[in-house]
C-alpha cells in the first residue's frame, strides 16, 4: 500500500473493516482488542479489526431499499455531525470493542430512533463506524499524516470524505486495487535484493490523481464532541 513508513495508515473496508499501520514504538492495547505484529520492514505494526464493516453498511442500505448510488447521495445530503444524531452500528457482535449485540444503539429524536429518516441513518452508520475506529485505535499512539483506503467501499467518495473529516487527515486511494498481490511482489523484490522499498513505493504505490480527500477544518470540533459522546455510549454498554 505504500505505507511502510511511520505516519501513514491503511484502512481496509471489507466484510470487516481493518485499521493498520507501522508503529513508532511497541505499544499494547490493554483492552485486548488490537494486535501488534513484527513489521517485515523492521520494528512493529499494529492491526485492529472491526466486525461491523460492510455488513453494517449493507444492512442500512437494504433496510431502506437503496442501491449504492442512493446510499452515497443520502450520505452527501446530510451535514457533518448529522445534527447530533448518533449510531453505534452494531448489526453483528462487535470485537472492537467486545460487545455481544446485534442491534444498533441510537441517540437522537424520535423519528431517527424509529428509523423514519433514511438519510440520517446512512450518515449515522458511517460516522459511527469511523468515530468508533478513531476511539479504539488511540492505543497505537499514532499521528497519521495520510490515510490510504483499500477494499470494496474505498471507491466511494462520500465515505472517503467522512474518513478524512473524522480523522482530520488526508485520504488517498491507490491506482492498483489488488494491493495484496502488489505487496507480495514488492516483498519478493526486496528479499531478492533487486530493489529498495522506497524505490518500489515510488514506482508502484501511486495514488489516484485528483481523487484525494482533504478534511474540512470546520469538522474538527464537531467530531471531537461526537467522539466524546460515542465514548460515553460505549462505556454504558
Task: Name the band, by pLDDT with cuts 50, 70 and 90, for residue 108.
Answer: very high
Task: Name the band, by pLDDT with cuts 50, 70 and 90, for residue 227.
Answer: very high
Model confidence, pTM:
0.94
| 166 Cβ contact list (under 8 Å, min separation 6) | 127, 130, 131, 134, 219, 223
For 148-192, the pLDDT digits (tens) are 999 888 889 999 999 999 999 999 998 887 788 998 999 899 999
Mean pLDDT of 192-219: 90
Quote the domain boundaries for residue 160. 1-237
C-alpha 191/C-alpha 200 separation (Å) is: 13
| 75 Cβ contact list (under 8 Å, min separation 6) | 119, 122, 123, 126, 158, 159, 162
C-alpha 147/C-alpha 158 separation (Å) is: 15
C-alpha 52/C-alpha 39 separation (Å) is: 26
Mean pLDDT of 140-150: 92
Q: How far is CA 54 from the centre of its chain?
A: 11
Specify the number of domains making up the chain: 1
Asked if residue 41 has pLDDT above 80, the reply is no
| 1 Cβ contact list (under 8 Å, min separation 6) | 10, 148, 150, 174, 179, 183, 205
With both helix axes pointing from N to C terminus, report the angle between 179-192 and 197-204 in degrees, rounded to the nearest 10.
Answer: 150
For 58-85, the pLDDT digits (tens) are 999 999 999 999 999 999 999 999 999 9
Task: Name the band, by pLDDT with cuts 50, 70 and 90, for residue 52.
Answer: very high
Per-residue confidence (pLDDT) for residue 157, from 0 to 100: 95
CATH number at residue 21: 3.30.420.40
Per-residue confidence (pLDDT) for residue 147, from 0 to 100: 96
Amino acid at each position: 500500500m505504500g505505507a511502510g513508513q511511520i505516519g501513514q495508515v491503511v484502512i481496509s473496508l471489507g466484510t470487516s473493516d481493518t485499521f493498520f499501520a507501522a508503529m513508532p514504538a511497541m505499544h499494547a492495547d490493554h483492552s485486548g482488542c488490537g494486535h501488534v505484529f513484527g513489521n517485515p520492514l523492521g520494528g512493529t505494526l499494529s492491526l485492529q479489526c472491526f466486525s461491523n464493516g460492510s455488513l453494517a453498511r449493507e444492512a442500512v442500505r437494504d433496510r431502506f431499499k437503496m442501491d449504492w448510488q442512493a446510499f452515497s447521495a443520502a450520505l452527501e445530503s446530510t451535514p457533518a455531525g448529522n445534527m447530533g444524531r448518533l449510531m453505534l452500528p452494531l448489526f453483528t457482535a462487535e470485537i472492537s470493542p467486545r460487545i455481544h449485540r446485534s442491534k444498533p444503539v441510537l441517540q437522537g429524536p424520535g423519528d431517527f430512533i424509529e428509523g423514519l429518516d433514511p438519510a440520517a441513518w446512512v450518515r449515522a452508520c458511517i460516522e459511527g463506524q469511523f468515530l468508533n475506529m478513531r476511539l479504539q485505535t488511540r492505543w497505537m499512539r499514532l499521528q497519521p499524516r495520510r490515510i490510504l483506503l483499500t477494499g470494496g467501499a474505498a471507491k466511494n467518495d462520500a465515505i472517503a470524505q467522512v474518513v478524512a473529516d473524522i480523522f482530520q487527515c488526508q485520504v488517498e486511494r491507490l491506482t492498483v486495487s489488488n494491493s495484496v498481490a502488489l505487496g507480495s511482489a514488492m516483498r519478493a523484490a526486496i528479499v531478492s535484493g533487486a530493489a529498495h522499498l522506497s524505490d518500489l513505493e515510488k514506482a508502484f504505490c501511486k495514488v489516484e490523481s485528483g481523487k484525494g480527500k482533504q478534511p474540512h477544518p470546520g469538522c474538527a470540533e464537531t467530531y471531537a464532541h461526537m467522539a466524546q459522546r460515542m465514548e460515553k455510549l460505549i462505556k454504558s454498554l
